[in-house]
Structure 1
């Protein structure tokens, strides 16, 4: 009995353990988030994709998201996310938690692109979420939250991105196009195009990963030679119009638009990549959108001041609608921060840089707080080489008048010069906060100041930097990136004319011989520090007779002819000689130079030379002693020359040199003194030369 009881207890315990443990094991497989994860399978926080949640109420879908926690950068403002939703039906939203009404109950792929600002991590990856909204329709169309006006420039085409391009990141671009009501066209057909990878940069900045269209736009192609032409209307008044009377109708004719077509060609030539689509039946007042997902290449220029451009083209088939272009300028960034300073055309041609050269700066700012800002102080550190007195304000947002023209408490822009900085102060404004209740348009929380500034004088060819500190009301300043101006290397060709003379004589075609030199040089334009220079020049050496070999005569008696008479003489020696004229080519493949200032420079390098033309006349010269009857001797020299010998591309030599230049060593004329030492024959000489760099 006792044994039976033990068996029953054991069976019951086993059953209970199985009942409890098995579901737990199943839960571990199905719900890994509820258990301690395996370290080997732990997903890094930066790779956790955005989770999209939604609820449906009366046919209106309300969206929300779950994103990884933000990690604030030390010393930076509070981090935050900005949002871009693509609903999969051709509509979108930049709100945090948007509402949307779908046109039917089909399945749609909803995407969320979240951008982290002031955060030290990566952006959450985007994964499309299939969504079937259901068959119930909203009672009122107004249930759908209205997206702020997209076409703010008033044109037929506009573009907007979810962020600035960052090397290695994705970027979404919304390409919107419309049939403006004022066109008076019920149905419009045409071509839509996006141009990217401007040729200002040697490498491609973007790769178009995907283009998502939702309104039957069909892929087409545009070539750079302009097969697409712009059209316009022209009034054509025939000669016989007067016969029909003054009230006859004038006829409109479609003609070729050379200006519009030239503009299309000009834009297409400026970019390396083009994508285009044909659209049809665009209703009057209708707006449609194409979604372009770009991958910013890791090879994208890493200069965080560089500005890349993308251009959209709207080319209608109907001449009543005008051809329209929209260019968006995007600053390459190292992080997705809304407060930025940008120098347009930051890589300049130093040749055209001077006191009259104007630079264009733009400082962007955004109120990311929970309330409005009434005052924004944009303090800009001005580089020492720039002239604060030449500042000219080009544009601003909010658009306000200058304080000198404003009445009391009016919204205005004040400029205050302090030491080495300039403050642009927006006063009495209302700039909403991004986290403020009721604010759905992120653009309304942003502002900027754009201005021009000139140089004090011709600067040195060195990079220069400017930065900005932005203060909203009485908060702590927010510091932007540093906008750096740099110069393109540029090329400076030069001409060389020189005269060389030896330090000693010798038995070679060069030693002891004067020469003249003409040639060219190539170096970076107006270098300020160390730089490399290459040269190519020709040297013509004066004709010279030199001794090749002396052979002793051993005092033997030989017959010679002197004054027409044959006599016996004792041979002292015989010299083998050559009379030579040489033209050489000199190549300087390696030369490093340094300019100490505007007027003194020095260099060291090596050159390779060879004879391009050598004319040589060999000869022999003997010294004889005539024997007389008295036993005294008279010395006689006899010469004999042979046929001229021509050679070319021979006698290769290596030479080391160092020199110094005095004059306008950056650009212009200067005089130089160059010492050369040739390893073959241990020959050394000095060249004095004039050079002019352009």
Structure 2
């Protein structure tokens, strides 16, 4: 028999080496390969092989290049012309789409440009999509544990001919989430942008007499020019800034100076997406940017960058803004805003894109309102000839948006360098239906480019916050069966309840009850046939009765009660209860019937002593009950059965409750 033991150790070593190599390749940094010709540099990169996610569209990389001189590119292999000689740190941020591995790390590569040439500089890619002075773009959606880059572009787009001076503020980590999502790790500036504190910015805005401030920097003098303006304008602008900051925990501010008319400038900010950020990978987070001019007569501008937290990078996604709603303040007219993003990743343009969205039953398709789209199209019913248009097909549980006669380039198409040109979206609002319940609601989309197979997006889930519903409860009960001799059989109850607001089916409820017992009179015993002396007079005692009057007030707590709404008008519950006598006042009385020497009969009554106890008795109980009425929120009536222990007896209570 042949022995294979000599081959075992080499085989294990090869497996271990292969495993280590695979892990190294999975986390390897992007290797940048520059080819320098005078001041023109062509960039290429070596990246780890992609690992296709089963069932997903073909995996691919998207690219974001930072050239180290304030310029950028989204091309795979860009060519850049530097305006001056020097050393530049080039960074490549590659994002792996439809890939189940980690994205390649970013490692700066220093490029030395020694020669000048007469080659004209490349025209920078189009950045601003609107008419504003500030926009922000991200190289990827935030994925917990990964970093991302924000490209912040600002420009002088004012109607005045002179330069503009002001501040750019970045707001992040929304207060609506209990934990921080981002941490700003680095900011790379190329136009003397200077980080300043919020108080410094306010001081510059609040001091109309300050005309010029100069600070020595490594690049020369940093100059701030302030225009005189009415104090009321300054106060209004400061109030606006503080109002915008109210929704965020963190901010960063950069002072910008002397932006010439029509000039565009860029900053590059690296943001760490924290591993402990929100666990909902469908949540939509917002990073806001403010363009704050020093001249209060100019308007402050705001740009919101809305991004969806993702578990994997997928350019075709569905987002729902405000995914956690307060059911107490949500009515049928509450609008839900959805956005479906899509990207043509093919080798050619798409002329038709159909986006079919599933609509949960809580939403009313008749209330559909389209509020934005890309590419921008007219409605097909008003289009002429082969004009680009959009059409909708609405059913009870779905909506289909169809872009017709459009031209949407593919990412793998020759000559396409701007990935934004390959992307589109449909944004719409839809209201709740009349019969809405407190249930999670999900929606997803299927996207078809021309006649290709559909691409399915993530499921976007909306949820309602649990909320707190306080309530009151009042009841009257009676004990039955073998009742302990020191307990009254009738009791009044008044208390409060705490539960989830308007729970749909099952929920927990906590209760605190005060219970007042009817006064209990308890006979102790009788003595007969003895002689006694009262106030010096001899009497014949017919009998002497001893009895007690007991007054009890109890407190009862339901530490754990489980309830189930059978319908909107009926519910049932079970739970445990702990009861304690917070006060038990016992007064002993004596009643005697005596006969004097003349044969006259007298009845004498006297108090024989008092005893006050607190928390002397603690009992436990199990209960079950049923309710009819507005059991989710509102008034209801119920009946509850108790089984007490220590001592054992039964109690039944009729009660009314009202949840708010």
TM-score under structure 2 normalisation?
0.88
Query: 1:200 aligns to what?
Result: 176
Query: 2:68 aligns to what?
Result: 88
- The 1:224/1:543 distance shift into structure 2, 3 A limit, reads farther
Cα distance in 2 for residues equivalent to 1:623 and 1:67: 110
Q: 2:307 aligns with which of 307, 325, 330?
A: 330
Query: 1:558 aligns to what?
Result: 530
Q: Which moved more, 1:582-591 or 1:424-433?
A: 582-591
> How far off is 1:638 after superposition?
6.3
Query: 1:675 aligns to what?
Result: 641
- The 1:635/1:127 distance shift into structure 2, 3 A limit, reads farther
Query: 1:238 aligns to what?
Result: none
- The 1:231/1:395 distance shift into structure 2, 3 A limit, reads farther
Cα distance in 1 for residues equivalent to 2:202 and 2:635: 46
* Equivalent pair of 2:92/2:106 in contact (CA under 8 Å): yes
Q: 1:129 aligns with which of 109, 123, 126?
A: 109
> How far off is 1:639 after superposition?
4.8
Q: Deviations over 1:498-536 (max 9, x none)?
A: 112222574565432x22222221111111232111122
Q: Which moved more, 1:457-466 or 1:97-106?
A: 97-106
Q: Give the gaps of 5 or more residues in structure 1.
A: 1-34, 233-250
Q: Which moved more, 1:460-469 or 1:500-509?
A: 500-509
Q: Within 5 Å, which residues of 2 pair with 1:184-195?
A: 184-186=161-163, 188-195=164-171
> How far off is 1:54 after superposition?
0.8
* Equivalent pair of 2:150/2:271 in contact (CA under 8 Å): yes
- The 1:667/1:171 distance shift into structure 2, 3 A limit, reads same
Q: Deviations over 1:205-247 (max 9, x none)?
A: 1122222223332222226997775899xxxxxxxxxxxxxxx
Q: Which moved more, 1:156-165 or 1:292-301?
A: 292-301
- The 1:567/1:224 distance shift into structure 2, 3 A limit, reads farther
Q: Give the gaps of 5 or more residues in structure 2.
A: 1-13, 209-226
Q: 2:506 aligns with which of 530, 534, 544?
A: 530
Query: 1:447 aligns to what?
Result: 424
Query: 1:595 aligns to what?
Result: 565
Q: 2:342 aligns with which of 362, 365, 387?
A: 365
- The 1:673/1:54 distance shift into structure 2, 3 A limit, reads same
Cα distance in 2 for residues equivalent to 1:277 and 1:544: 78
Bigger radius of gyration, 1 or 2? 1
Q: In the alignment, is residue 66 of structure 1 matched against residue 36 of structure 2? A: no
Query: 2:619 aligns to what?
Result: 653
> How far off is 1:450 after superposition?
1.1
Q: 1:390 aligns with which of 367, 383, 399?
A: 367
> How far off is 1:348 after superposition?
1.4
> How far off is 1:475 after superposition?
0.8
Q: 2:28 aligns with which of 48, 59, 67?
A: 48
> How far off is 1:138 after superposition?
3.1
- The 1:138/1:499 distance shift into structure 2, 3 A limit, reads farther
* Equivalent pair of 1:189/1:317 in contact (CA under 8 Å): yes
**DSSP-derived class of the 1:203 partner:** coil
Q: In the alignment, is residue 292 of structure 1 matched against residue 269 of structure 2? A: yes
TM-score under structure 1 normalisation?
0.83
Q: Within 5 Å, which residues of 2 pair with 1:198-347?
A: 198-222=174-198, 253-257=229-233, 258-319=235-296, 321-347=298-324
**DSSP-derived class of the 1:660 partner:** strand
- The 1:492/1:536 distance shift into structure 2, 3 A limit, reads same
Query: 1:582 aligns to what?
Result: 552
Query: 1:140 aligns to what?
Result: 119
Cα distance in 2 for residues equivalent to 1:322 and 1:410: 37
> How far off is 1:318 after superposition?
2.6
* Equivalent pair of 1:500/1:688 in contact (CA under 8 Å): yes
Cα distance in 1 for residues equivalent to 2:76 and 2:311: 24
**DSSP-derived class of the 1:61 partner:** strand
Cα distance in 2 for residues equivalent to 1:669 and 1:620: 48
Q: Which moved more, 1:314-323 or 1:263-272?
A: 314-323
Q: 2:519 aligns with which of 543, 558, 563?
A: 543
Q: Deviations over 1:67-94 (max 9, x none)?
A: 1111222221111110011122222211
Cα distance in 2 for residues equivalent to 1:225 and 1:501: 71
Cα distance in 1 for residues equivalent to 2:200 and 2:569: 48
Query: 1:494 aligns to what?
Result: 471
* Equivalent pair of 2:472/2:496 in contact (CA under 8 Å): yes
**DSSP-derived class of the 2:237 partner:** helix
**DSSP-derived class of the 1:189 partner:** strand
* Equivalent pair of 1:226/1:264 in contact (CA under 8 Å): no
* Equivalent pair of 2:365/2:395 in contact (CA under 8 Å): no
Query: 2:211 aligns to what?
Result: none
RMSD value over aligned CA atoms?
3.2
**DSSP-derived class of the 1:208 partner:** strand
> How far off is 1:60 after superposition?
0.7
Cα distance in 1 for residues equivalent to 2:94 and 2:154: 25
Cα distance in 2 for residues equivalent to 1:684 and 1:646: 26
Cα distance in 1 for residues equivalent to 2:402 and 2:199: 48
Cα distance in 2 for residues equivalent to 1:533 and 1:228: 55
> How far off is 1:181 after superposition?
5.4
Q: Which moved more, 1:638-647 or 1:61-70?
A: 638-647
- The 1:39/1:344 distance shift into structure 2, 3 A limit, reads closer
> How far off is 1:621 after superposition?
5.4
- The 1:102/1:419 distance shift into structure 2, 3 A limit, reads same
Query: 1:247 aligns to what?
Result: none
**DSSP-derived class of the 2:493 partner:** strand
Q: Within 5 Å, which residues of 2 pair with 1:392-431?
A: 392-417=369-394, 420-431=397-408
> How far off is 1:334 after superposition?
1.8
Query: 2:218 aligns to what?
Result: none
Query: 1:107 aligns to what?
Result: 87
Q: Deviations over 1:606-625 (max 9, x none)?
A: 2333344443322345799x
Cα distance in 1 for residues equivalent to 2:533 and 2:200: 86
* Equivalent pair of 2:50/2:99 in contact (CA under 8 Å): yes
**DSSP-derived class of the 1:642 partner:** strand
Query: 1:664 aligns to what?
Result: 630
Cα distance in 2 for residues equivalent to 1:183 and 1:336: 43
Q: 1:354 aligns with which of 318, 326, 331?
A: 331
- The 1:672/1:405 distance shift into structure 2, 3 A limit, reads same
Q: 1:684 aligns with which of 650, 656, 659?
A: 650
> How far off is 1:397 after superposition?
0.8
> How far off is 1:476 after superposition?
0.8
Q: 1:607 aligns with which of 577, 583, 598?
A: 577
**DSSP-derived class of the 1:119 partner:** coil
Query: 1:21 aligns to what?
Result: none
